[in-house]
Chain A
Amino acid sequence: MDIRISGVTKVFEGDIVALDGVYFAVGAGEFVYLVGTTGSGKTTLLRVISREVLPTKGQVLVGGFDLRRMRYNDLAYYRRDLGIVFQDFRLLSHLTVLENVAFILEAMGVPPREVRDRSGFILERVGMWHRRFLKPPQLSGGEQQRVAIARAIVNAPAVLLADEPTGNLDPRTSDEIVQLLTSINASGTTVIMATHNQYLVDAYRHRVVELSRGRIIRDENQGRYAADVDL
């Protein structure tokens, strides 16, 4: 599922310009780092893609579909094609690890046996199967982020949006998380990751898009997937 953002501007209340005429395309299967200082527009750009934020101006096409024209009731189904990982994990604290991963499948009406199988498989993949009966407050930050990633990918989304997924983690755990995201990307999922961590960007080479004051000021290694995108 490719993403095309054409001339997107977002102005919040109080004339705060978060995005200023952004043109940006991501091809299916790409891994893109969004980098930039705090307030540069990385999170807003991710939220535009997840349709939590509507652009003031411009067009967002995901899989050829214009997000501005999305019907109210289609939003949940659209978001099932996206996996979202947050800096603060946002796990449901009253549910166990297994339930946190399974509930999105339950919400989709997946049969119980398949819910168990798929949740178990994903928890194995992120190395959290042995912690499946614990609740989020009983886990370390890195473990919680692994569970959050498992929840994001359990329904096999086409795109994974990660907003500072290593922001609250130590360097070693951050490494493990990016390795995990890279392996997810290798299986065909598009990954867009906002990060401050220059070490990770240098250590795990992927396309880098840098934002400053709501504008894209650098787009490295664009060629392989997005060069053919006509913006």
Chain B
Amino acid sequence: MSTFRYLLRDTFRLIFRHWGMSLLTLFSISAVFFLLGASSLLSLNTRHLLGNIEGQLTVQAYLKPGSDLEAARKKVQTFGNIVQIVAITPDEALEHLKARLGNRAEVITLVGENPLPPALEIRVERAAHVSSLARRLVAMAEVEDVVYAGGLAEKLSRLSVFVGRLSVGILVIAVVAAVMVLFNTVRMAVYSRRDEIHVMLQVGATQTYVALPFVLQGMLLGMMGAAFAALTLLKGYSSAISVLAATMPFLLFLRDGALLAKLGVVLVGAGICLGWIASWFAVVRYIRDAVKPL
């Protein structure tokens, strides 16, 4: 209890002793985590949007007349990455066509017999799966023709990969920046107290006891910076979404409150972890050198 009280007291002493530096660190960490959170939101929204479009992406496989529709459906089911297969008989296809033509449906009666082939309407999990599925369908003996939005599927797939890479790139830059900012802040605090550290080690304080206030300082600054960034970001995002949804109703933005709350928690957790890692490296090596005998 006594040790815990000392650690807390010393941690706050470190923060307030160099309050200018602490404030600067808080702003820097907030900016970095804001960038990290914004990139995560961009990535989540892109995936959300792509998910919606992908959900509507279908592949139509037209079978040769007289083919066994149910057998073909079962065969395609084994291909994997498939969300749904709807088997459409020629009669059902004709009914759909009539419904779409409306008043002009009488034209079909001029043809005499039903010219429409049996078909499979297939929905896949991801846009990236469309091309490979189409190739497999074309190779089937009972399939006469395959129709799908190949260009759109490929573009969606490329966009998804690009957004994923962009997010990872921003993540790496943000993590490195956060670690460097926290590392330097704690390192400066260590140097400003190097004489005290030497005295503490000489009179029998353990390395952990000496290091902990610095580590807690890093964790606290990381946590507060990330929390400030998360609050600003999520508040700003909900305001921005309200405006954007009114002006661009055709775009589907992410509004999942639980997911956004999780993002906030992840950011704060990342702030604590990065604060811990950066300050640990900043202080431990210094202490190890300080206790090394001459």
Interface flags for B1-14 (1: CB within 8 Å of A; 0: not) read 11101100000010
- Give Cα distance in the complex from A103 to B205, angstroms: 9
Contact across chains for B203 and A52 when beta carbons are under 8 A apart: no
Q: Which residues of chain A from 95 to 130 have a CB within 8 Å of any chain B CB? A: 103-112, 115
- Give Cα distance in the complex from A47 to B201, angstroms: 13
Contact across chains for A79 and B204 when beta carbons are under 8 A apart: yes
Contact across chains for A94 and B13 when beta carbons are under 8 A apart: yes
Q: Which of B100-108, B119-127, B192-200, B251-259 contacts A (4 or more CB under 8 A)?
A: B192-200
Contact across chains for A80 and B2 when beta carbons are under 8 A apart: no
A152 beta carbon closer than 8 Å to chain B:
yes
Contact across chains for B196 and A76 when beta carbons are under 8 A apart: no
> Which listed residue, A52, A53, A91, A106, touches B3 by the CB 8 Å rule?
A106
- Give Cα distance in the complex from A99 to B202, angstroms: 17
- Give Cα distance in the complex from A109 to B3, angstroms: 6
Return chain A residues, CB-CB under 8 Å to B2. 105-106, 109-112, 115
Q: Which residues of chain A from 119 to 149 have a CB within 8 Å of any chain B CB? A: none
- Give Cα distance in the complex from A106 to B17, angstroms: 21
Contact across chains for A76 and B206 when beta carbons are under 8 A apart: yes
Return chain B residues, CB-CB under 8 Å to A77. 204
- Give Cα distance in the complex from A80 to B199, angstroms: 13
Return chain B residues, CB-CB under 8 Å to A155. 204
B191 beta carbon closer than 8 Å to chain A:
no
Closest Cβ of chain A to B199, distance in Å, is 5
B209 beta carbon closer than 8 Å to chain A:
yes
Contact across chains for B204 and A104 when beta carbons are under 8 A apart: yes
Contact across chains for A84 and B203 when beta carbons are under 8 A apart: yes
Query: Which residue of chain A is the closest to B6 with respect to CB atoms?
Result: A106
B291 beta carbon closer than 8 Å to chain A:
yes
Contact across chains for A107 and B1 when beta carbons are under 8 A apart: no
Query: Which residue of chain B is the closest to A84 with respect to CB atoms?
Result: B202
Contact across chains for A107 and B200 when beta carbons are under 8 A apart: yes
Interface flags for B157-198 (1: CB within 8 Å of A; 0: not) read 000000000000000000000000000000000000001101
B236 beta carbon closer than 8 Å to chain A:
no
- Give Cα distance in the complex from A78 to B203, angstroms: 10
A151 beta carbon closer than 8 Å to chain B:
yes
Q: How many CB-defined contacts (below 8 Å) exist between A and B?
A: 75
Contact across chains for B1 and A112 when beta carbons are under 8 A apart: yes
A51 beta carbon closer than 8 Å to chain B:
yes
A208 beta carbon closer than 8 Å to chain B:
no
Contact across chains for A75 and B195 when beta carbons are under 8 A apart: no
Return chain B residues, CB-CB under 8 Å to A111. 1-2
Contact across chains for A107 and B294 when beta carbons are under 8 A apart: no
Contact across chains for B1 and A108 when beta carbons are under 8 A apart: no
Return chain A residues, CB-CB under 8 Å to B198. 90
Query: Which residue of chain B is the closest to A10 with respect to CB atoms?
Result: B294
Return chain B residues, CB-CB under 8 Å to A12. 294
- Give Cα distance in the complex from A214 to B5, angstroms: 45
Q: Which residues of chain A from 69 to 83 have a CB within 8 Å of any chain B CB? A: 72-73, 75-80, 82-83
B293 beta carbon closer than 8 Å to chain A:
yes
Q: Which residues of chain A from 4 to 51 have a CB within 8 Å of any chain B CB? A: 12, 47, 50-51
A92 beta carbon closer than 8 Å to chain B:
yes
A184 beta carbon closer than 8 Å to chain B:
no
- Give Cα distance in the complex from A127 to B242, angstroms: 71
Contact across chains for A75 and B291 when beta carbons are under 8 A apart: yes
Interface flags for A155-189 (1: CB within 8 Å of B; 0: not) read 10000000000000000000000000000000000
Contact across chains for B3 and A107 when beta carbons are under 8 A apart: yes
B2, B5, B6, most chain A CB atoms within 10 A: B2
> Which listed residue, A50, A53, A72, A115, touches B202 by the CB 8 Å rule?
A50
> Which listed residue, A47, A115, A152, touches B203 by the CB 8 Å rule?
A152
Q: What are 6 sample pairs from A and B whose C-beta atoms fall under 8 A apart?
A: A54-B293, A73-B206, A79-B201, A90-B198, A107-B204, A111-B2
Q: Which 7 A-B pairs have the closest CB atoms?
A: A80-B204, A79-B204, A107-B205, A54-B293, A76-B206, A112-B2, A106-B6
- Besides A76-B205, A79-B202, A109-B3, 19 other A-B contacts (C-beta < 8 A): A50-B202, A72-B291, A75-B291, A76-B204, A77-B204, A90-B195, A90-B202, A92-B199, A94-B13, A104-B204, A105-B2, A106-B3, A107-B6, A107-B206, A111-B1, A111-B2, A112-B5, A152-B203, A155-B204
